């Protein structure tokens, strides 16, 4: 598919955040059979005005600010997704002077990420047999891994850039950064957003090393260049490209088939490891397939995904070893027992350097009863206890399946999930709710830094060890430094490999949560 980079560049987060509407991969056609760009002045006269909370199909036309736009990705609109600021969804067809397409790559497409707030998790809402070395020296805490996801689209609406990882003090505390996401299209790997990845020019003030990007032929720009600079400043850091996520996992099942597997893996290694344009940026590949042999954002899975997933990881391991010794291979792994049972837990760890458990998104406002979205433990009083959605139950399942403890990395969220219209009883815990609490980018979800600033009364649940806030009507479940400290102690007590989190932009400007993770793992 083509990417359109307009004057105001794409907020690719919107596609990841849209846990709604069937997002397909087809672009609207802009050109007639003679190659001329189609005009739509006749349609402009009848096109309806853009409106939030409206389902738009591909090729639907709207007007906004005197300009007619055509929908290029099916979605349900939300406030803040006006056509001029989300060209990932809308293409102007009249009333504007120009449009430009972004630089082409091996392949490209719009971006998506793990559900809304995380990279999928275990709930309904919503990453050594390997030869890559631990990558755990330097940074981190106590030799444990501290892995943070960096969301490609954060450079737009969130205004979060690679430099923020450094200025927050987080870079020196991390061991690994997972760059989210690369796409899987037509049995090949693809870049998600070429502009954000390697074309966006950073000024000296916004650059990691204080040196502005150039437009010299062959010069690398964008987040890839900033990551290269960050690694030069913090040589202990390892950076992995994460493939798939909640929105972009639909292509894995076909790509993992025996007939496609080797060429698919080769395309990924060629694009992210061998491509000379960003040589040395990536130290490995993180596979975030949501989910093998189970429904994710789509339900195009097949039963043989179970075996094919193992074989796919073996192929990645083989080709990465051949490309360069020491390259890392990891996965973002489910925490729900219904999905874990579809994976050959006792086999896949042989091909992997470590396994990032998505122990979050276990509950959310898609349910009408409040609950904790990343509890450490379950509770006998939990009305949903039969689901066995807790960090400890997920860790236990992976350990019992044969995964070495040192390869298991526990995921924690840097965001919360919330409800509004909550019954004022039991501090809002396990109470009925009217719906999702308002959020900055999507209802029912909010960054830690925003939730902290709300100042709502906070509590820690005695059974689950989960932190939550409740102000009489609004209930939010999220981790704070204290609850993270309890989870880090759990990781140490279990001799696990470390902690992973989704995602960096949710933290405070001074990296409060990253600091809590690092200090807790000492």
Counting every residue, how long is the chain? 522
- Does 290 qualify as catalytic in the annotation? yes
Of 290, 315, 474, 503, the active-site residue reads 290
Tokens for 51, please give them: 């409106």
What 3-state DSSP class applies to 339? helix
What CA–CA distance (Å, rounded) separates 362 from 371? 9
Q: What is the CB neighbour count within 10 angstroms for residue 379? A: 19
| Backbone phi and psi for residue 138, each to the nearest 5 degrees, phi listed first | 75, 150
Helix runs in 357-480, H state only:
391-400, 448-454
Chain centroid to Cα 148, Å, comes to 10
Beta bridge partners of 445: 417, 442
- Listed in sequence order, the residues at least 6 apart from 337 whose beta carbon sits closer than 8 Å to its beta carbon are 388, 393, 394, 397
- Listed in sequence order, the residues at least 6 apart from 309 whose beta carbon sits closer than 8 Å to its beta carbon are 256, 289, 292, 293, 343, 344, 348
What CA–CA distance (Å, rounded) separates 18 from 23? 9
Which burial class, exposed, middle or buried, applies to 203 when counting CB atoms under 10 A from its CB (0-12, 13-18, 19+)? exposed
Q: What is the CB neighbour count within 10 angstroms for residue 499? A: 31
Q: What is the CB neighbour count within 10 angstroms for residue 324? A: 13
User: Cα dist. 143→174, 496, 518, 522 in Å?
Assistant: 11, 11, 10, 8
Per DSSP, the residues of 278-338 read GTTT-SEEEEE-S-TTS-SSS----TTHHHHHHHHHHHHHHHHHHH-TT-EEEEEE--SHH
Catalytic residues: 290
């Amino acid at each position: 598919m083509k990417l359109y980079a307009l004057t105001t560049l794409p907020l690719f987060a919107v596609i990841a955040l849209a846990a709604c509407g069937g997002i397909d991969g087809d672009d609207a056609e802009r050109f007639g059979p003679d190659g001329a760009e189609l005009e739509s002045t006749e349609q402009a006269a009848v096109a309806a005005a853009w409106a939030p909370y409206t389902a738009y199909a591909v090729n639907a036309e709207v007007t906004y600010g005197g300009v007619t736009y055509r929908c290029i990705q099916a979605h349900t609109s939300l406030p803040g997704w006006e056509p001029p600021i989300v060209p990932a969804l809308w293409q102007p067809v009249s009333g504007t002077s120009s449009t430009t397409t972004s630089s082409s790559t091996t392949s490209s497409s719009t971006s998506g990420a793990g559900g809304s707030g995380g990279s999928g998790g275990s709930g309904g809402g919503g990453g050594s047999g390997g030869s890559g070395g631990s990558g755990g020296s330097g940074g981190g805490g106590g030799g444990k891994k501290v892995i943070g996801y960096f969301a490609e689209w954060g450079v737009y609406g969130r205004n979060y850039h690679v430099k923020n990882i450094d200025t927050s003090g987080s870079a020196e505390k991390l061991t690994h950064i997972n760059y989210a996401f690369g796409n899987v299209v037509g049995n090949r790997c693809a870049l998600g957003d070429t502009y954000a990845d390697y074309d966006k020019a950073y000024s000296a003030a916004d650059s990691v090393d204080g040196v502005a990007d150039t437009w010299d032929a062959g010069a690398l720009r964008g987040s890839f260049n900033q990551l290269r600079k960050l690694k030069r400043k913090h040589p202990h850091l390892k950076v992995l490209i994460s493939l798939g996520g909640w929105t972009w996992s639909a292509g894995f099942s076909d790509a993992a088939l025996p007939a496609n597997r080797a060429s698919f893996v080769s395309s990924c290694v060629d694009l992210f490891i061998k491509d000379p344009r960003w040589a040395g940026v990536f130290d490995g590949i993180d596979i975030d397939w949501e989910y093998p042999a189970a429904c994710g954002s789509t339900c195009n899975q097949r039963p043989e995904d179970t075996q094919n997933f193992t074989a796919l990881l073996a192929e990645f391991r083989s080709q990465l070893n051949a490309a360069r010794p020491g390259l890392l291979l990891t996965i973002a792994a489910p925490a729900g027992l219904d999905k874990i049972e579809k994976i050959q837990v006792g086999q896949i760890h042989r091909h992997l350097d470590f396994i990032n458990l998505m122990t979050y998104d276990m509950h959310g406002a898609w349910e009408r009863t409040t609950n904790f979205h990343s509890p450490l433990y379950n509770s006998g009083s939990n009305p949903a206890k039969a689901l066995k959605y807790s960090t400890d139950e997920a860790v236990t399942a992976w350990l019992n399946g044969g995964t070495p403890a040192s390869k298991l990395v526990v995921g924690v969220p840097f965001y919360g999930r919330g409800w509004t219209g909550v019954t004022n009883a039991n501090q809002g815990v396990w109470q009925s709710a009217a719906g999702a609490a308002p959020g900055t980018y999507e209802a029912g979800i909010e960054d830690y830094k925003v939730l902290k600033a709300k100042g709502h009364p906070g509590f820690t649940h005695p059974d689950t060890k989960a932190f939550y806030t409740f102000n009489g009507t609004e209930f939010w479940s999220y981790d704070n430094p204290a609850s993270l400290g309890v989870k880090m102690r759990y990781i140490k007590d279990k001799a696990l490999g470390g902690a992973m989190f989704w995602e960096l932009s949710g933290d405070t400007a001074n990296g409060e949560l990253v600091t809590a993770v690092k200090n807790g793992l000492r």
